């Protein structure tokens, strides 16, 4: 069996696409309702693409931001994946290049032969060559990607609340105004709003080309057309927006549900005004919101915080640190301290951290803490505490108190969150 791992040519794009689940109709997501999906069922059914759709995908495949790799076995493509070029916001506000792993699959007849490991190795090498010191992905199956150094770094909640249970703690006078708009206006609003959000939100990802296309389309799960709500401040500038659906159901238990598919607010006024309407929409009885941050402040605005019930929690962005020095120097820290970190397979590094930045240098000193690159990926954005991983036996404290010191350095103002993926 001759194996070759390499990028695909334009002439090979159709064969490459036939390996991928979203084209061949094989499962592409765990059969569980996800926290990034507001519906009540599992994610969308697997549908094999038509020849016309395959032709269209093949024509659009090779771009400067989509970098596919394939495993050729005896000259035939048996597996494939790709890297997309995006940016992620790290603590301190810098937006750094991220190699986003996507479209990953091996044909069932070629599995358990190490093909994915070789594909992943080639893609991570490609990231390093392009200067991307972080790689990321959203894991369709949680047991696969830890073996390649990835680990969860951001998380999402899905929550729901009965409309009749909602009451806000205080009166609110909106200095701005809410407006229902069509999808054409929404398509103009969302790219601008998202850029403003990702400039200040740790963990947020730059959108792929075409992200905001098709906002007026009907989803495949039958949840009905999207409705678009925006908030304007006192000057008329848009400072918040939401996308929601009102799916019809013959089941009384599922009828009258308002699904919030996307929600962003730049100000507390916009946040309060948008949720104020969405949680009190006439002729609805339940609101479900997906892709929500784990530190959602809405709960604390309600007279009954138990009204907001978490129904799903899931990891979202998994990170893999490819260059320890560059990664640790790219972000800022919540305190001033120096620690020697031993990263298995990546050496020992002295981190001299401050709120303004850091220096990271190779060191021969005894380490204060030891961990693998997986743990470093989870810790990097501040969404996972070193003390959690230490208690789980995944971070070893060599100097007493070093775990608490690392927690103090990495402590975020808010939990990292990314609302868009790749």
Q: Which residues are catalytic?
A: 145, 422
Helix/strand/coil for 362: strand
Distance CA 137, CA 59 (A): 25
Strand duo 66-73 + 3-7: pairing? antiparallel
DSSP 20-57: SHHHH----S-SS--TT--SSSSSPPP-PPPHHHHHHH
- The response to whether 117 counts as a known ligand-binding position is yes
Largest Cα–Cα separation, the chain: 71
In whole angstroms, give the CA distance from residue 410 to residue 378: 11
Residue 116 annotated as binding site: yes
113 a known binding residue? yes
Query: Which is nearest to 321 in space by CA: 294, 337, 335, 341?
Result: 341
Has 114 been labeled as part of a binding site?
yes
Give the pair of three-digit tokens for residue 234: 């006192």
Helices (H), 205-289: 268-278
Q: Is 162 annotated as a binding residue?
A: no
390 is in an annotated binding site: no
SS3 298: helix
- The annotation status of 331 as a binding-site residue, yes or no, is no
Residues contributing to the annotated binding site for acetyl-CoA = 112-117, 140-141
Residues contributing to the annotated binding site = 112-117, 140-141
């Amino acid at each position: 069996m001759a194996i070759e791992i390499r990028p695909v040519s334009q002439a090979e794009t159709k064969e490459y696409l036939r390996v991928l689940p979203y084209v061949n109709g094989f499962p592409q997501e765990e059969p569980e309702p996800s926290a990034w999906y507001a519906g009540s069922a599992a994610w969308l059914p697997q549908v094999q693409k038509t020849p016309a759709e395959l032709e269209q995908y093949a024509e659009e495949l090779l771009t400067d931001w989509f970098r596919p790799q394939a495993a050729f076995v005896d000259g035939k493509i048996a597996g494939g994946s790709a890297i997309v070029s995006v940016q992620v916001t790290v603590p301190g506000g810098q937006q750094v290049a991220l190699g986003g792993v996507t479209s990953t699959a091996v044909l069932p007849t070629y599995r358990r032969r190490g093909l994915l490991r070789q594909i992943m190795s080639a893609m991570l090498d490609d990231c390093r060559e392009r200067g991307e010191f972080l790689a990321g992905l959203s894991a369709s199956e949680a047991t696969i990607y830890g073996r390649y150094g990835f680990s969860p770094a951001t998380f999402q909640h899905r929550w729901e609340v009965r409309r009749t249970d909602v009451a806000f703690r205080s009166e609110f006078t909106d200095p701005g105004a809410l407006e229902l708009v069509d999808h054409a206006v929404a398509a103009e609003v969302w790219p601008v709003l998202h850029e403003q959000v990702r400039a200040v939100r740790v963990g947020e990802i730059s959108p792929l080309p075409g992200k905001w296309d098709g906002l007026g389309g009907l989803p495949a799960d039958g949840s009905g057309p999207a409705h678009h709500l925006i908030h304007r401040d006192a000057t008329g500038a848009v400072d918040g927006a939401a996308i929601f659906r009102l799916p019809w159901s013959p089941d009384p238990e599922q009828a009258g549900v308002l699904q919030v598919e996307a929600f962003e607010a730049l100000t507390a006024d916009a946040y309060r005004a948008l949720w104020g309407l969405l949680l009190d929409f006439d002729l609805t009885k339940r609101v479900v919101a997906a892709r929500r941050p784990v530190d959602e402040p809405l709960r604390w605005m309600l007279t009954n915080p138990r009204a907001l019930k978490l129904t799903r929690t899931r990891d979202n962005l998994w990170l893999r640190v490819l260059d320890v020095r560059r990664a640790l120097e790219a972000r800022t820290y919540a305190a001033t301290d120096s620690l020697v970190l031993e990263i298995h397979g990546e050496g020992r590094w002295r981190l001299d951290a401050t709120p303004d930045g850091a220096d990271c240098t190779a060191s021969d000193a005894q380490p204060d803490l030891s961990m693998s690159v997986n743990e470093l990926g989870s810790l990097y954005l501040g969404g996972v505490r070193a003390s959690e991983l230490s208690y789980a036996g995944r971070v070893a404290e060599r100097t007493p108190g070093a775990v608490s010191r690392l927690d103090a350095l990495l402590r975020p103002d808010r939990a990292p969150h990314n609302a868009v993926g790749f």
